[in-house]
Amino acid sequence: GIDAPVGPGGAPLSPDKELRAWIRIAAVDVAGRVSPFVERELRVLPVGTGDVEVTLSMSEATDLDLYVMGPTGNVIYYGHTRGYTQGQLDLDANAGCGGNMGVNNEHVFWPRGAAPAGTYVVRVAHYRSCIGGRGVDYRVTVRNCGETAVFRGRFEGEGDTRTCMEAPPDAQPGWCQQVVSFDVTPCAAAGP
């Protein structure tokens, strides 16, 4: 997994506490001229870490949902945020076009040593368009025992409020897309 983020003074950030920071950026051209500074506020929302992590990132502030089914058949998603095997959804963005708007990420993870061996299935649902039906691109990043893989997809239209795991794989590509299935074996223990 990834090391947990730290706040000012090196204190670990709590997964349920947001950190706001400001960044100032200027550009320098080949002649050495410096542009005016631009300031932007950053919102850091710490998430859990572990041997298995699945992150959904979307290009627009709209309501896409991440579904991860573990090898026991237990599905983790907005309607069931904690699995029986310690997996959990700890970030749900743009819920119903109202909660966590603009975060544009969702995250499911199993803590170190807790992910059961077997096959995992990842789906993404287009629950509701918060952007007037415009297209939205998404990216799913899977971290499995230190290996990372990235998958991309796109939705068009208004979405559908049915639960994505009820649909057969790729039966409803307009609102429910199976992104990847992957196998987890016990991760090697970290060295000293």
| Geometric angle at alpha carbon 125, from 119 and 129, rounded to 5° | 165
Residue owning tokens 């997964």: 15
CA pair distance 25, 119, nearest whole angstrom = 44
Amino acid at 149: A
Q: What is the mean pLDDT of the chain?
A: 85
- Domain 48-184 in CATH 3.40.50: no
Where along the chain do its domains lie?
48-184
pLDDT value, residue 29: 94
What number of H helices and E strands is found in the chain? 0, 11
Model confidence, pTM: 0.79
Q: For position 12, what pLDDT does the model report? A: 61
pLDDT at 160: 86
At 2 the pLDDT is: 41
Q: What is the pLDDT of residue 101?
A: 67
pLDDT of 67 reads: 95
Low-confidence ranges of the chain (pLDDT < 50): 1-2, 191-192
**Whole-number Å distance between alpha carbons of 157 and 55:** 23
pLDDT tens-digit series, residues 138-154: 999 999 998 999 999 99
For residues 96 and 71, what is the distance between their CA atoms, to the nearest angstrom? 29
C-alpha span between 106 and 108 (Å, rounded): 7
